[in-house]
């Protein structure tokens, strides 16, 4: 003890300083080694007894600091609150301590808790843990890339796996900071900006923890002003305080007097609690309102806003790395994946979620997917598929199936089957169908006709179908066109239009089936070949897609010479793409070539090139809505969901009843985590085409993700009335 006193110069020995005086001595002499000791002690303890030891250490250190400027001796450390305060009272600022004492007593229950919190072993997270290092590297390379003009590729990020805490940090901090940057804009505007930014980061909806971030409220100010007004009649609190604050403050207006007058005016808890109550009500409102997600207009505003800052006339702003960072985030160019089950990365090029339990191609697809996601999706689909298949078969049994009737007729009986009645062989067919299904992708290429077609018997169903198609009434158009091909099964144009109608109605199975019939009728029809190429790309059937796209080139009057006359055994994407690049050089003004190139690059997942190709094509065909849709889908695939939504919107402006674009829009919102919005778009798409099975599945996933389990029944029973009512667009 004496030695320690000598070393530290303390007037009296603090009994709680250390259990080992030599440890304290060592501590005072060589700080570093004893620090290790302290840290070890620090870790396991939550008991108050150990606490006193902990507190003694720093104090020792402070006393030992050479040249310490301490002009009043530090109070001896003691974990006992009362002991501390007793000593504290002896110190100069009596009033200060008294007040604290009171407060401490008043809040006794919370003290042990606080103490424990304070005593918690210090958490030392890994400073260079892989996630942070990767994120940091990506963020900085991304920021740097904006200077060199190199395209930023956020490829590494999906592997990142940010923790919930990280996501919350990004969410909360960018929210609060954005409010500071975008103060010029209205509150709504800022909120929309923030929402868009966060959704594009894929963060918001799955991060839960501290509840909604309190916002700034106009209403709050009203409440505030009201409260202020209520206070005005009496002597204002602040005035009283100001008087007291006067340097000549006398003893007579001590704190007690002030407290009394305060309580007289406001009651014990006074204004603060009133304020808090009102505030919490507001917060509740906000929580409910916060579910509202920005609409399309907001997305556009977001982009404009991000540009507003970048377009500040000050060149410094244009070079600001941070502003580039923010604006890139808001454009969705920075994506953080959260390993959540989501709809496929959106879009016509990846709508691989087939209804049927697929055969060999399944394995190929699997390789392209991130396994975990796929597995989850697959599991989810399996559940629904079982039911769907049954349903489908039942439905099928009621249908009037021309070609099947022909085929089936050879197997079962002859002549006895009428053109339009299939009831009597339905059961037998069921068995056959099930066998087929087990063998492989049985439904492939089989066109399924609608029941109860009012256009059968129409004098000119082709013209009627075309008119309906142009009006955007796709489901009606499909019926009319079915009537046409029932009437003239060899009409390639009828089948082709039917295929296009199905493709736009978001039904690639039917589209392919119709297009195959069209190709049968007219094997060299270029539009048919192109459509088949696109539809097979959608279904991720690369070999088939390449075959048709190559066929397109081979049969093209202009580019036919580029392709070898014989169909090669196996086609490679790169070879085909090269042929089309040559074709594009031959006639750069041919939008179709650029479209095919865009499709091909989608097959090879070179989305930047695909986007460029489609954009070139759009310059030539700015009013091709399906082209806008392709562009949007490609952008969605390359994780530019915000841009994709703009492209889809363009398509929908051109063709409001474009079911596929509605559904794609939903997928893009879902990919940004805006599940509520995605639901609205799916429902809209389904209200136009209730048979779009993919969209039903996406809807189900979005409902689950949005925790709208109450609506799952409506989804499973395909009750559009309920869904439309619940999710109006």
* 61-100 positions binding other proteins, by CB under 8 A: 61-62, 65, 67-72, 74-75, 77, 79, 84, 93, 95-96, 98-100
Tokens (6 digits) for 674: 């805006």
State whether the Cα torsion 340-345-347-350 is positive or negative: negative
Phi, psi of 162 (to 5 degrees): -70, 145
Query: How many alpha carbons lie under 13 Å from residue 229 in its C-beta half-sphere?
Result: 6
Residues 652, 658: Cα–Cα separation, whole Å: 6
Kindly state the smallest distance separating residue 261's Cβ from other proteins, in Å: 11
x/- binding map, residues 31-50, to other proteins, per CB under 8 A? xx--xx--------------
Residue with Cβ nearer other proteins (18 or 668): 18
Give, as ranges, the residues between 302 and 321 that touch other proteins (CB under 8 A). Answer: 314, 316-317, 319-321
| Contact residue for other proteins among 7, 13, 26, 169 (CB under 8 A) | 169
Tell which positions 325-354 bind other proteins, by CB under 8 A: 325
DSSP secondary structure string for all residues of 252-308 = GG-HHHHHHHHHHHHTTTHHHHHHHHHHHHHHHHHHHHTT----HHHHHHHHHHHHH
What does the alpha-carbon distance between residue 242 and residue 236 come to, in Å, rounded to a whole number?
A: 10
For other proteins, the closer CB: 314 or 423: 314
Smallest distance, Å, CB 216 to other proteins?
6
Paired tokens of 505: 């109605």
Q: Residue 185 is encoded by which pair of tokens?
A: 């804009």
DSSP at 252 = G
Which of 13, 21, 26, 54 is the binder for other proteins (CB under 8 A)? 54
Residue 162 beta carbon to other proteins: minimum distance, rounded to whole angstroms? 8
Q: What is the DSSP string of 314-383?
A: SHHHHT-HHHHHHHHHHTT-S----------S-STTT----SS---HHHHHHHHHS-HHHHHHHHHHHHH
DSSP state of 343: -
192: left (phi over 0), alpha (psi -120 to 50) or beta: alpha
Nearer to other proteins by Cβ, of 32 and 570: the residue is 32
**Cβ 549 to other proteins, closest distance in Å?**
44
**Would you count residue 258 as binding other proteins (CB under 8 A)?**
yes
What six digits make up the tokens of 704?
A: 């689950």
- Which of 170/599 has CB closer to other proteins? 170
By beta-carbon proximity to other proteins, the closer residue of 146 and 537 is 146
**57 vs 535 by CB, closer to other proteins:** 57
**Residue of 247, 371, 557, 728 that binds other proteins (CB under 8 A):** 247
Q: Which of 392, 326, 332, 329 is nearest to 356 (CA)?
A: 392
23 contacts other proteins (rule: CB under 8 A): no
Provide the minimum distance between the beta carbon of 95 and other proteins in the complex, in angstroms, as a whole number. 6
Compute φ and ψ for 85, nearest 5 degrees. Answer: -70, -35
- Nearer to other proteins by Cβ, of 188 and 435: the residue is 188
Per CB under 8 A, contacts with other proteins among 174-203 are 174, 176-177, 179-181, 183
Give the contact letters, 207-246, x = binds to other proteins (CB under 8 A), - = no. ---x---xxx---xx--x---x--------xx--xx-xxx
- The DSSP line for 144-181 is HHHHHTPPP-GGGGGGT---HHHHHHHHHHHHHHHHHH
Cα–Cα distance between 303 and 319 in angstroms, integer? 18
Q: Which two tokens stand for residue 420?
A: 């339009």
Q: Residue 173 CB, nearest distance to other proteins (Å)?
A: 5
- In the complex, minimum distance from the CB of residue 167 to other proteins, in angstroms, rounded to a whole number: 9
Using CB under 8 A, which of 152, 189, 275, 356 touches other proteins? 275
Give Dmax over CA atoms of the chain in angstroms: 118
Member of 45, 132, 397, 475 binding other proteins (CB under 8 A)? 132
| Least separation in angstroms between CB 373 and other proteins | 24
User: CA angle at residue 25 from 23 to 28, to 5 degrees?
Assistant: 110
Nearer to other proteins by C-beta: 263 or 407? Answer: 263
CB of 58 to other proteins, least distance (A): 4
Interacting span for other proteins (CB under 8 A) from 5-13, 269-277, 595-603, 618-626: 269-277
For 218, the 3-state DSSP assignment is: helix
Minimum distance of other proteins from residue 319's CB (angstroms): 7
Return the residue matching tokens 């570093």.
Answer: 32
- In the list 29, 111, 413, 543, the residue contacting other proteins (rule: CB under 8 A) is 111
Distance CA 495, CA 361 (A): 26
Closest to other proteins by CB, 181 vs 408, is 181
**Shortest Cβ distance from residue 212 to other proteins (Å)?**
12
Neighbours of 412 (CB within 10 A): 15
Best CA proximity match to 517, nearest among 389, 406, 641, 368: 406
- Our finding on whether 136 is near other proteins (CB under 8 A) is yes
Closer to other proteins by Cβ: residue 136 or 438: 136
574 touches other proteins by CB under 8 A: no
Distance of closest approach, residue 306 Cβ to other proteins, in angstroms: 15
């Amino acid at each position: 003890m004496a030695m320690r006193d000598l070393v530290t110069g303390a007037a009296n020995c603090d009994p709680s300083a250390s259990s080992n005086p030599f440890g304290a001595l060592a501590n005072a002499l060589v700080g570093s080694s004893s620090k290790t000791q302290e840290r070890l002690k620090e870790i396991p303890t939550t008991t108050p007894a150990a606490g006193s030891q902990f507190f003694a250490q720093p104090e020792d250190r402070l006393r030992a600091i050479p040249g310490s400027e301490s002009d009043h001796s530090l109070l001896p450390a003691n974990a006992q609150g009362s002991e501390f305060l007793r000593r504290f009272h002896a110190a100069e600022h009596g009033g200060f301590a008294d007040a604290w004492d009171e407060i401490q007593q008043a809040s006794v229950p919370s003290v042990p808790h606080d103490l424990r919190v304070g005593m918690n072993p210090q958490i030392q997270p890994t400073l260079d843990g892989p996630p942070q290092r990767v994120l940091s590297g990506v963020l900085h390379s991304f920021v740097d890339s904006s200077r060199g003009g190199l395209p930023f590729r956020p490829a590494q990020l999906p592997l990142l796996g940010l923790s919930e805490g990280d996501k919350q940090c990004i969410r909360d901090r960018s929210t609060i900071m954005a409010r500071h940057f975008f103060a010029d804009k209205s509150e709504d505007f800022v909120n929309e900006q923030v929402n868009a930014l966060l959704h594009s980061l894929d963060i918001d909806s799955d991060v839960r923890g501290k509840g909604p971030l309190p916002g700034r409220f106009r209403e709050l100010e009203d409440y505030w002003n009201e409260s202020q007004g209520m206070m005005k009649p009496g002597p204002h609190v602040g005035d009283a305080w100001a008087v007291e604050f006067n340097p000549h403050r006398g003893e007579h207006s001590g704190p007690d007097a002030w407290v009394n007058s305060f309580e007289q005016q406001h009651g014990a808890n006074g204004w603060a609690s009133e304020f808090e109550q009102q505030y919490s009500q507001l917060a509740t409102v906000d929580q409910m309102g916060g579910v509202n997600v920005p609409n399309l207009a907001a997305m556009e505003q977001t982009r404009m806003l991000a540009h507003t800052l970048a377009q500040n006339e000050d060149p410094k702003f244009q070079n600001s790395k941070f502003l580039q960072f923010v604006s890139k985030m808001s454009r969705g160019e920075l994506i953080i994946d959260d390993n959540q089950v989501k709809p496929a990365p959106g879009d016509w090029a990846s709508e691989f979620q087939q209804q049927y339990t697929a055969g060999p191609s399944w394995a190929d697809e699997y390789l392209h997917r991130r396994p975990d996601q796929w597995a989850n999706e697959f599991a989810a689909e399996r559940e629904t598929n079982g039911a769907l298949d049954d349903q489908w078969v039942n439905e099928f049994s009621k249908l009037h199936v021309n070609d099947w009737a022909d085929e089936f007729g050879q197997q079962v009986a002859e002549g006895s089957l009428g053109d339009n009645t299939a009831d009597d062989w339905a059961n037998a067919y069921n068995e056959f169908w099930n066998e087929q299904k087990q063998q492989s992708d049985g439904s492939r290429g089989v066109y399924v006709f609608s029941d109860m077609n009012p256009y059968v018997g129409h004098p000119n169903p082709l013209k009627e179908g075309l008119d309906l198609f142009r009006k955007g009434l796709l489901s009606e158009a499909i019926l009319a066109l079915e009537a046409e091909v029932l009437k003239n099964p060899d009409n390639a144009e009828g089948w082709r239009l039917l295929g296009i109608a199905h493709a736009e109605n978001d039904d690639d199975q039917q589209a392919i089936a119709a297009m195959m019939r069209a190709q049968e009728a007219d094997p060299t029809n270029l539009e048919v070949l192109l459509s088949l190429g696109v539809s097979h790309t959608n279904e991720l059937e690369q070999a088939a897609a390449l075959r048709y796209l190559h066929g397109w080139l081979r049969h093209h009057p202009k580019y036919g010479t580029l392709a070898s006359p014989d169909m090669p055994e196996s086609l490679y994407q790169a070879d085909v793409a090269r042929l089309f690049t040559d074709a594009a050089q031959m006639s750069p003004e041919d939008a179709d070539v650029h479209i095919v190139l865009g499709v091909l690059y989608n097959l090879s997942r070179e989305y930047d090139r695909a986007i460029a190709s489609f954009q070139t094509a759009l310059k030539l065909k700015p009013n091709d809505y399906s082209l806008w849709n392709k562009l949007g889908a490609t952008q969605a695939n390359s994780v530019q969901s915000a841009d994709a939504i703009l492209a889809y919107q363009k398509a929908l402006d051109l063709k409001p009843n474009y079911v596929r674009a509605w559904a794609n829009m939903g997928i893009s919102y879902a990919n940004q985590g805006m599940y509520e919005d995605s639901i609205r778009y799916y429902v809209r798409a389904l209200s136009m085409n209730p048979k779009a099975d993919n969209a039903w599945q996406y809807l189900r996933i979005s409902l689950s993700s949005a925790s709208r389990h109450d609506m799952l029944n409506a989804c499973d029973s395909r009750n559009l009335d309920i869904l439309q009512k619940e999710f109006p667009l």
